[in-house]
A and B are shown apart, each in its own frame.
Chain A
Amino acid sequence: MHDMSHAHVAHQAPTSFIRRNIFSLDHKVIGKQYYGLALVAVFVGMVLSWIMRLHLGWGNLAIPGLHLLSANGAPGDVMTPEYYLQLMTMHGTIMVFFVLTTAPFAAFGNYFLPIQVGAEDMPFPHFNMMSFWVTFVAFLVMIASFFVSDGPTLGGWTQYAPLSALGAVTGPGQGTGVVLWAASIAIFCVGQLFGSLNFITTTLDMRTKGMSLWRLPLSTWAWFITSVMGLTAFAVLMPACILLILDHVAGTSFFIASNLVVNDQLQPHAGGSTLLWQHLFWFFGHPEVYIAIVPGMGIVSHVLISNMRRPMLSHRVLVYSMAALAVLSYMVYGHHMFVSGMNPISSIAFSFPTLIITIPSTIIVLIWMGSLYGSRLRINTASLFALGMISMFISGGVSGFFLAQPSLDIMLHATYFVVGHFHLVMAVAAIFGIFSGTYFWFPKMYGRMMNETIGKIHFWLTFVGTYCIFMPFHYLGLAGNVRRYQAFVDDYLQPLIPVHKFITVAALATGAAQFLFLYNLIHSRFWGKPAPNNPWESTSLEWATPSSPPPFDNFGGTLPTVYHDPYQYGIEGSTGDYVMQNSPEKIETVREEP
């Protein structure tokens, strides 16, 4: 963080292949690299979930070839309990960190934030490049844990101590596996800190002439707010991971209590605090949920506006609400710990902000819906996914009412109800945001249109499939189905297995549908029909670049000057019902009522 003066470097277009495509300083290339990483990660995570689902639906069914993945984990292709948990842990970790954080935030943010504020690049391109490659190394370290003798950690993506801190005595993967996990996450934090640093500085200092804060598009606002969250959250997770590693390799006792007996052996550690890890982790963990979803909100708003042909009912209220989410997200993390032995009073204290956070969320949804009203909605794959995201966010949001209350958490904590809740509200909603953004921005990123027909089929299968997977999760939870079980040996869980079979089938089908997307992505990248500069007739600056994809310096030498608020739709402009942010023409602007 000591040298901040690389900006000039970015403005000489590199000539060598390596500098252009691999160790590039260009925010656009780095954005694409992040997107590629997320794409690889999401398919790894998806395959892991398939294996888990198959196992949950059909108990000790041998999955042909599984032993190739792990001879110990699946002897004779039959999955062992530890291997199930290891896959589950890796699914959670990879999805949360390497997909939900990288794709909507780091990938799209890197590509479009500088363009949308009218800058040639980020101020610190070297940090930007490091941010990606550090993240990449983190991913490799995480994947590496698949190949150590007893496999990756089985402690779940929350890595509760002391299970995660005691070492190999507590089970397969709890030795080297955990150390690799913690190392990977610590490295990941460094990468995201570099990224956030760039995002914040770009938004504050790199805005072009006339681009006042209120003229920033909602997507930029979302990325900005997210980067502020990231800066604080990841800065807390990193030291926590380091302390965890020390408990492993240096014999310290930060998280390990006294007098623990594992396998009849009294453990040498003393006095550590189990809850300390939970506090540190969830202080990061809850903001992380919003780090995953807020960029999605921004992207969806951005896409929706250009397809509704009208500005949001209120630009500012939306921004304030997202900011409110960011602030509140630090006050609510305790709701993950209602029944974890925290003082009952503080449970109540945490319950109220948790309930109150539903107010900004509701406002955001209402603004979206209120803006739909009286709009001239265009239906295309991008807007369909945006609408789908709204629906998912609502469905996942309402179940928050339950989990915000400690008294109901007694019943629902650690059940599939929770799993259903966060998958809908955070995972799937964010993924729909990513899809929406992809279909919307792909023409600008690669200069070619994506195939709308395949896109729509992809949407329908994904939309219906997702509900088929995650709605039943809530029912299972109500019936008391505990999460993180590799088999349901309990008498009261036996009757629920058919539901799991149904979910498994739905999951496999929905997963398969994603290959349509992959095909569409690759095919359109090379053979899609060439994209015009502004295919969606949008107003923001990324569509004001002289070409698709934009030139190395985004605006071909002269930075644009901004004359209007971001979303001037539904007006009589020379170009039609919209006026670009950088077009000097005078118009009756659609402005906020004060």
Chain B
Amino acid sequence: MMKGEYKLKIAAVLSAFLLVATGALILNQRVSAAADGTITGSVKLTGTPPHMKGIDMSKDPYCVKQHENNPPKMENVVASSSGALQNVVVYISQGLTGNEASAVSSEEPTFDQKGCMYTPHVLALNVDQKYKVITSDQTTHNIHPLPAPGAGNIGWNKSQPPGAPPIETSWKAQEVAISVKCNIHPWMHGWFAVVKGPNAVSDENGSYTIKNVPAGSYTVTAWQEDLGEQTSKVSVAAGQSAKADFTFKSK
């Protein structure tokens, strides 16, 4: 008699466990299934691209040497002859639900100081996403991000001599975009775009791909440091890819 009861208990526990496990599995399925959509597209510049001044780095001979055969130019507007616009941040500005918006990308991008320029020129990040500032130069740089006051981010100003370890940090609040400069090399200038949810930056062909977008309909915003913002509405079906192209007019 006692024995039978015992068996029953075990069965109950086992089944309960199974139930929970499968449930978890199913849920898990749902989550991954939900965020496999993508938004792709290309960013174009119409009109004659603005003239980008050359940069005279003569104050630091090291920097000059790094650019002996590719004279440095400003990177405020980088457009190909065909009008493909680079360094445009594309992100979902409306339509994300709470926990989708608060999801933080796990990858840790690097922001490199190379040839006394910033690569990439624009770095898109999630709020609280870790990123590394490294230097490939043999001259000392100071990294000086200047978030807008009141936006919730605190600015900092640290030097990175050759051989110094990477600076690993993150931003507390959404801000498009935080300007970053080097005072020792005043021409060095870049951006941190701190956004919520999936995002992308257009490449040299002007194309971008936002991955891991959950199904739903969104407002997507494209931001360019000089030309401002463009938005468009897209709806993404689960696992499908939606398209959103942007066109900026040259001033």
Contacts and interface: CB of A to CB of B under 8 A. Distances in A.
A/B touching: CB–CB < 8 A: yes
Contacts of B139: 489
A80 interface: yes
Contacts of A172: 157-158
Given A80-B140, A81-B142, A263-B146, A75 B157 contact: no
A573 interface: no
Interface in A346-368: none
Interface in B116-169: 139-140, 142, 144, 146, 156-165, 167
Nearest to A62: B163
Contacts of A81: 140, 142, 159, 161, 184
B162 A263 contact: no
> Which of B146, B157, B163, B167 has the most C-beta atoms of chain A within 10 angstroms of its own C-beta?
B157
A489 B162 CA distance: 14
B104 to A, nearest CB: 25
Contacts of B162: 60
Given A171-B157, A171-B183, A265-B146, 12 more contacts: A60-B163, A78-B163, A80-B140, A80-B158, A80-B159, A80-B160, A81-B184, A263-B181, A263-B183, A264-B179, A264-B181, A487-B140
B146 A79 contact: no
Contact of A79 (B144, B161, B183, B184): B161
Interface of B: 60-61, 139-140, 142, 144, 146, 156-165, 167, 179, 181, 183-184
A288 interface: no
A460 B158 CA distance: 43
Task: Enumerate the 8 nearest inter-chain pairs by beta-carbon distance, A residue then B residue, closest first.
Answer: A80-B159, A76-B165, A75-B164, A78-B161, A78-B164, A76-B164, A81-B159, A60-B161
25 contacts: A60-B161, A60-B163, A75-B158, A75-B164, A75-B165, A76-B163, A76-B164, A78-B161, A78-B163, A78-B164, A80-B142, A80-B159, A80-B160, A80-B164, A81-B159, A82-B142, A150-B156, A168-B157, A171-B183, A172-B157, A263-B144, A263-B146, A263-B181, A487-B140, A491-B61
A171 B156 CA distance: 9
Contact of B157 (A79, A150, A489): A150
A81 B185 CA distance: 14
Given A263-B146, A263-B181, A263-B183, A82 B159 contact: yes
B68 to A, nearest CB: 18
B182 to A, nearest CB: 11
A533 interface: no
A232 interface: no
A489 B184 CA distance: 12
A267 interface: no
Contacts of A93: none
A491 B62 CA distance: 12
Contacts of A76: 163-165
B130 to A, nearest CB: 17
Contacts of A78: 161, 163-164
Contacts of A72: 158
Interface string A72-92: 100110111110000000000
Contacts of B159: 80-82
A171 B155 CA distance: 11
Contacts of A264: 179, 181
A265 B179 CA distance: 12
Nearest to B144: A263
A75 B160 contact: yes
> Which of A171, A263, A265 has the most C-beta atoms of chain B within 10 angstroms of its own C-beta?
A263
A72 B162 CA distance: 15
Interface string A143-181: 000000010000000000000000010011000000000
